Amino acid sequence: MNDVHQLLRSHRSIRKFTDETLTDETVAEIVKSGLCAATSSNLQATTVIRVRNPEVRARIAELTGGQRYIETAGAFLVWCADMHRTRRAAEMAGGTMTSGMTEQFMIATIDVALAAQNAVVAAESMGLGICYIGAVRNDPQTVSDLLELPRDVYPVFGLCLGVPDQDPEVKPRLPVEVVLKEDVYSFEQEARQIADYDETMRAYYRARTGGNKQSCWTEEIASLVDGERRPHMRQFLADRGFEMR
């Protein structure tokens, strides 16, 4: 296993950082590496906003359910899917953009995810820690207002970056045999493999919490998908110009 594989397999979410602020140069280098990710049709539909204002960071932390590491991380970035720049680029060339297409939403969102993960790998290669903040979508309109996002732009997730002040265990993932299939979608062996993974996760949680957490993966998934989650997103996206036509 080479160094890149080792780095990728050592990923952890870091939620406790030192008070060291990341320099502009460091953040720019990380984002630059992120933007070298694949992008559909060279659309490059990613915009990254570094939030410095402590009051705005505190407000976003509040909106995300009190995730205070947003305030303490060395840098906090909000990664946005941006079709506004695409529209302006088309107009500069004398064209127009037919907005509201589902494919535009998918391309822009996928572009952001690919770029952000590139940036995460770059940051971790520098010894930094990261934590994605999907909960910016708890109240995406307020986040959009705080960041003055124009129409055709929406915040996909936040990203904390900083010098780690903790050393958590690597969380086990599903066995590759469950995820990697041959030729067709087959699930005959999954039940046994997932049951084994459940026991792995029970042991992981017991060790991480000193025996205070006893759940497993399937139980957490059942809780996660039972009922509606962020149902406001559909109308929010439509209002932003992502109409899913």
Task: Decide if 245 is inside a domain.
Answer: no
Query: Are residues 118 and 195 located together in one domain of the fold?
Result: no
Query: Are residues 19 and 132 located together in one domain of the fold?
Result: yes
Q: CB 240: neighbour CB atoms within 10 A?
A: 22
Question: Which domain covers residue 92, as residue numbers?
Answer: 3-168+227-240
pLDDT at 189: 83
Query: Are residues 35 and 82 located together in one domain of the fold?
Result: yes
DSSP at 21: P
The CATH number of whichever domain residue 92 belongs to comes to: 3.40.109.10
Measure the CA–CA gap between 217 and 209, rounded to whole angstroms: 16
For the chain, what is the largest distance between any 2 Cα atoms, rounded to a whole number of angstroms? 63
pLDDT at 52: 98
Task: Decide if 221 is inside a domain.
Answer: no
Q: Which amino acid is at 135?
A: A
Task: Decide if 219 is inside a domain.
Answer: no
CA angle 56, 61, 67 (to 5 degrees): 155
Task: Decide if 126 is inside a domain.
Answer: yes
Measure the CA–CA gap between 198 and 178, rounded to whole angstroms: 13
The helix/strand/coil state of 193 is: helix
Query: Are residues 48 and 159 located together in one domain of the fold?
Result: yes
Distance, C-alpha 173 to centroid of its chain: 17
pLDDT at 25: 98
The answer to whether the beta carbons of residues 70 and 145 sit under 8 Å apart is no
Task: Decide if 114 is inside a domain.
Answer: yes
The side-by-side arrangement of strands in the sheet containing 129-133 is 46-50, 75-82, 153-162, 129-133
Query: Are residues 65 and 95 located together in one domain of the fold?
Result: yes
* Residue stretches of the chain with pLDDT short of 70: none
Query: Are residues 93 and 208 located together in one domain of the fold?
Result: no
**Which structure tokens are listed for 95?**
């064209």
Name every residue whose Cβ is closer than 8 Å to that of residue 103 and which is 6 or more positions away in sequence.
none
Average pLDDT score over the chain: 96
Query: Are residues 92 and 180 located together in one domain of the fold?
Result: no
Task: Decide if 13 is inside a domain.
Answer: yes
pLDDT at 113: 98
pLDDT at 94: 97
Beta strands in the chain (DSSP E): 46-50, 75-82, 129-133, 153-162
Query: Are residues 143 and 235 located together in one domain of the fold?
Result: yes
Split into its structural domains, the chain has a count of: 2
Task: Decide if 222 is inside a domain.
Answer: no
pLDDT at 209: 86
Query: Are residues 43 and 60 located together in one domain of the fold?
Result: yes
Query: Are residues 160 and 201 located together in one domain of the fold?
Result: no
Query: Are residues 157 and 97 located together in one domain of the fold?
Result: yes
Positive or negative: CA dihedral 229, 152, 60, 163:
positive
Query: Are residues 209 and 161 located together in one domain of the fold?
Result: no
pLDDT in tens, 178-217: 999 999 998 888 999 999 999 999 999 998 888 888 899 9
Task: Decide if 140 is inside a domain.
Answer: yes
